[in-house]
């Protein structure tokens, strides 16, 4: 059963439509991420689930029950926002206990639950401190403890890691995922950071301009993007105008750079027949080599134009005829230099195709 359902939801602010007709199922116990660029409607969707905003049209169900008319404090949700400040004049323990007191949980139980929640976020000894005596990362953990101590039906997280510096952010995402798995709470997580979404999610909902572009497991949205937007937003892609010339057990796509490419049908699920198409080549699937490729691998001569050294990997911009392409390769040897004549190797099974 789905824990949260958005059914035909529309949200308008005056004449502006922030969320176009959206239907979405959040499975019980899943970690689901709303991913998309700034302004695409992620927070708006989350606030409607929370009860902080009313949808203009459509229904929201939590645990199978319609909640459009249920106020936020009766929805039993845990909320953590980017700057969901702790109460500065309450201690950490009082902050975490807040939702329990509000629910009239007996005092004797509150102390034990607060202790468990602080253990879970690995800050067992800070209960007597005030928020200002904690680092940003610690404060975010306390905000998380405060959200989960009430045993919410759904945890709603709006960019909870974005105020943290890069290293701490990576540690915290592992930590957050561990906690979510441990307590098994259905979680809706909002981010515009694709690596965060890929690392943490059971399901990713890719959004653009108030619409859902694709819903899938991380490897599905990454390897089989449903739209050009998804192919560009997740990872680095080369996308070419092409023509589908055979559409059946095999899908053959022709473009000016690679010629005839036989794309697995599973990687062209939205291509309905022959005609205009797009060929999608992930930057990391395009390998630079000194020599032409062996049988079964496409090989195209090219010239290196730009070398962007990134440590473990290098991003090349190369020219093949009229086309400029990007390739991201691991460095096992010396990187190629600007001006080098190379061969681009591409396995056809690594390509995807979209409707043109
Ligand atoms: N109260 C409001 N009144 C008018 N427009 C609003 C209101 N709230 C949001 N919007 C608009 O709705 C759109 C979606 O906003 P939303 O906050 O959901 O985006 P977001 O995907 O969370 O972006 P970000 O990544 O920047 O947080 C934006 O264009 C925003 O300007
Ligand atoms: Mg937002």
pLDDT digits (tens, 9 = 90+) for 201-253: 999 999 999 999 999 999 999 999 999 999 999 989 999 999 999 998 889 99
What topology is assigned to 236-355 in CATH? Answer: OB fold (Dihydrolipoamide Acetyltransferase, E2P) (2.40.50)
Rounded to the nearest angstrom, the distance between the alpha carbon of 45 and the centre of ligand 1 is 10
Ligand nearest the Cα atom of residue 193: 1
Domain locations along the chain: 2-223, 236-355
The predicted-structure confidence for 167-183, as pLDDT tens digits, reads as follows 888 888 988 999 999 99
Ligand 1 in contact with 13 (CB < 6 A)?
A: yes
What is the CA(210)–ligand 1 centre distance, in A? 9
Question: How is residue 49 written in tokens?
Answer: 């689930």
What's the confidence (pLDDT) of residue 79?
93
Ligand 2 mean position to 192 CA, how many Å? 8
CA distance 280 to 33: 24
**Long-range contacts of range 210-217, CB-CB < 8 Å, 24 or more positions apart?**
210/11, 210/17, 210/18, 210/19, 210/20, 210/22, 210/40, 210/41, 211/20, 211/22, 212/22, 212/24, 213/36, 215/24
Whose CA is closest to atom 8 on ligand 1?
44
Residues 6+ apart with CB under 8 A from 157: 79, 80, 81, 176, 187, 188, 189, 190
Decide whether any atom of ligand 1 lies within 6 Å of the 40 Cβ: yes
Give the residue, by CA position, lying nearest to ligand 1 atom 3: 13
CA triplet 137, 37, 226: central angle to 5 degrees? 120
3-state secondary structure of 334: coil
- Measured between alpha carbons, how far is 332 from 250 in angstroms, rounded to an integer? 34
Distance linking the first and last C-alpha atoms of the chain: 36
- 2-223 to CATH, choices 3.40.30.10, 3.30.565.10, 3.40.1280.10, 3.40.50.300: 3.40.50.300
DSSP reduced 3-state for 313? strand
Q: How far is CA 256 from CA 181, 194, 260, 321, 336, in A?
A: 47, 30, 9, 9, 25
Nearest ligand 1 atom, CA 207: 21
- Indicate whether this model's pTM tops 0.85: yes
Tokens 């102390």 found at: 111
Strands 186-191 and 31-35: parallel
pLDDT of residue 123: 93
Q: Which one of the ligands is nearest to 42 CA?
A: 1
> Band of the pLDDT at 161, cuts 50, 70, 90?
confident
- Best probe residue, ligand 1, of 13, 163, 209 (max atoms within 8 Å of C-beta): 13
The residues, ordered by sequence, that sit 6+ positions from 256 with a Cβ below 8 Å of its Cβ are 240, 321, 322, 323
- Phi and psi at 181, nearest 5°, equal -65, -40
- Average pLDDT taken over every residue of the chain: 94
Chain segment 65-89, per-residue pLDDT in tens? 999 999 998 999 999 987 757 999 9
Residues with Cβ–ion distance below 5 A, ligand 2: 43
Q: What is the mean pLDDT of residues 244-272?
A: 93
Residue 49 has a CB neighbour count (10 Å cut-off) of: 25
- Could you give the CA distance from residue 116 to residue 356 in angstroms, rounded to a whole number? 54
**Residue 164's pLDDT is what?**
82
pLDDT digits (tens, 9 = 90+) for 100-148: 998 899 999 999 999 999 999 999 999 999 999 998 889 989 999 999 9
- Residue 291: CA atoms inside 13 Å, Cβ hemisphere, count? 3
- Is 2-223's fold the same as 236-355's? no
> How many angstroms separate the alpha carbon of residue 15 from the centre of ligand 1?
14
* Closest C-alpha among 339, 347, 283 to residue 315: 283
pLDDT at 16 over 80: yes
**How are strands ordered across the β-sheet holding 352-355?**
259-263, 251-255, 237-247, 275-282, 352-355
Sign of CA dihedral 334, 336, 337, 340: positive
Q: Give 43 Cα–ligand 1 centroid separation in angstroms.
A: 7
Q: Is 38 in the pocket of ligand 1 (CB under 6 A)?
A: yes
Q: Ligand 1: which atom is nearest the Cα of residue 46?
A: 18
């Amino acid at each position: 059963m789905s824990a949260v359902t958005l059914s035909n939801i529309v949200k308008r602010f005056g004449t502006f439509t922030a969320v176009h007709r959206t239907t979405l199922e959040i499975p019980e116990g899943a970690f689901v991420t709303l991913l998309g660029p700034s302004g695409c409607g992620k927070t708006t969707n989350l606030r409607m689930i929370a009860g902080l905003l009313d949808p203009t049209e459509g229904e929201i169900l939590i645990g199978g029950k319609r909640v459009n008319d249920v106020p936020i404090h009766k929805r039993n949700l845990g909320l953590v926002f980017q700057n969901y400040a702790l109460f500065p004049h309450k201690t950490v323990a009082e902050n975490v206990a807040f939702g329990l007191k509000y629910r009239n949980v007996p005092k004797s139980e509150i102390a034990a639950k607060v202790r468990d929640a602080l253990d879970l976020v690995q800050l067992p000894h800070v209960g007597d401190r005030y928020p200002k005596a904690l680092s940003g990362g610690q404060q975010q953990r306390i905000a998380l403890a405060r959200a989960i101590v009430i045993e919410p039906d759904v945890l709603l997280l709006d960019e909870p890691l974005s105020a943290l510096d890069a290293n701490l952010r990576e540690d915290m995402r592992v930590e957050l995922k561990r906690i979510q798995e441990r307590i098994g709470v259905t979680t809706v997580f909002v981010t515009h950071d694709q690596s965060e979404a890929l690392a943490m999610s059971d399901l990713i909902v890719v959004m653009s301009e108030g619409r859902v572009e694709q819903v899938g497991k991380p490897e599905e949205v990454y390897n089989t993007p449903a739209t050009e937007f998804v192919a560009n937003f997740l990872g680095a892609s080369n996308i070419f105008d092409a023509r589908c010339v055979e559409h059946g057990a095999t899908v053959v796509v022709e473009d000016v750079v690679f010629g005839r490419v036989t794309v697995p049908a599973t990687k062209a699920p939205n291509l309905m027949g022959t005609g205009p198409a797009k060929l999608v080549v992930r930057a990391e699937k395009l390998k630079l080599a000194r020599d032409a490729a062996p049988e079964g691998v496409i090989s195209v001569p090219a010239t290196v134009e730009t070398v962007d050294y990134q440590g473990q990997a290098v991003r090349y911009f190369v020219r093949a005829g009229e086309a400029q392409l990007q390739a991201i390769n691991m460095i096992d040897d010396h990187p190629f230099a600007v001006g080098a004549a190379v061969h681009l190797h591409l396995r056809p099974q690594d390509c995807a195709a979209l409707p043109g």
